Amino acid sequence: MGFRLHLDGELHEVTVARRHPTLILTVDGKELEVAAPPGPGDGHGTMEIGGLEIAFARAAVGDRQIVRLDGRTFDVALVDPYSGGGAAGGAQDALKAPMPGAVVSVHRRPGETVLRGEPLITIESMKLQTALPAPRDGVVARIYRTEGETFEKDEVIATLEPQTEAA
């Protein structure tokens, strides 16, 4: 599984493809080898990315990191997949497939209320089963795939309607 980063106002998809013997990251579809990655915390040093030695410095500022790589400064923030806001500025209504696969089970039906993080659908990809959680609180609007049906990466497989407040 991957994660999303806001890097100077732009959203990037990052996946850890391999950790050993070297770290391989896929960033927006481009594979990068990272040798001698820095440890946690503030500091400075050098690391090797794609065969090039790059000087870096970083400092935590709240939930963001200010990172200086090879003379350029970046403001980096990890995107919470369950947060109501996003790069588009709206609520997350669509549940997208993180990889191609097949639906193993559907845990909720249209019209049912869900809380952020509750499993909506369990999928299988490359013999690995993964429960896909609701991206936010809401009501299931539509489930686009049934058990056994296949889908492609980034295909919308469920949508949510805004949850109405009780009167």
pLDDT at 31 over 80: yes
Q: Given this model, what pLDDT does residue 87 score?
A: 38
Q: Given this model, what pLDDT does residue 164 score?
A: 59
Interatomic CA distance for residues 32 and 13, integer angstroms: 13
Domain 2-78: which CATH number of 3.50.50.60, 3.40.50.300, 1.10.357.10, 3.30.700.30: 3.30.700.30
Q: Given this model, what pLDDT does residue 91 score?
A: 47
User: Are 140 and 108 spatial neighbours (Cβ–Cβ below 8 Å)?
Assistant: yes
| 55-70 core/surface letters (b: 16 or more CB in 10 A; e: else) | ebebeeeeeebebeee
Domain boundaries along the sequence of the chain: 2-78, 94-161
Q: Can you tell me the mean pLDDT for 38-59?
A: 84
Q: Is the pTM of this model over 0.75?
A: no
Q: Given this model, what pLDDT does residue 86 score?
A: 41
When mean pLDDT is compared across 40-44, 50-54, 114-118, the lowest value belongs to 40-44
pLDDT at 23 over 50: yes
Interatomic CA distance for residues 160 and 108, integer angstroms: 11
Average of per-residue pLDDT values in the chain: 80
Task: List Cα–Cα distances, 111 to 25, 135, 160, 162, in angstroms.
Answer: 39, 16, 9, 11
Topology, domain 94-161: OB fold (Dihydrolipoamide Acetyltransferase, E2P) (2.40.50)
When mean pLDDT is compared across 17-26, 64-73, 90-99, 125-134, the lowest value belongs to 90-99
pLDDT at 20 over 90: no
pLDDT in tens, 73-128: 878 877 655 554 443 334 478 888 888 999 999 999 999 999 888 899 999 988 88
Helix, coil or strand: residue 37: coil
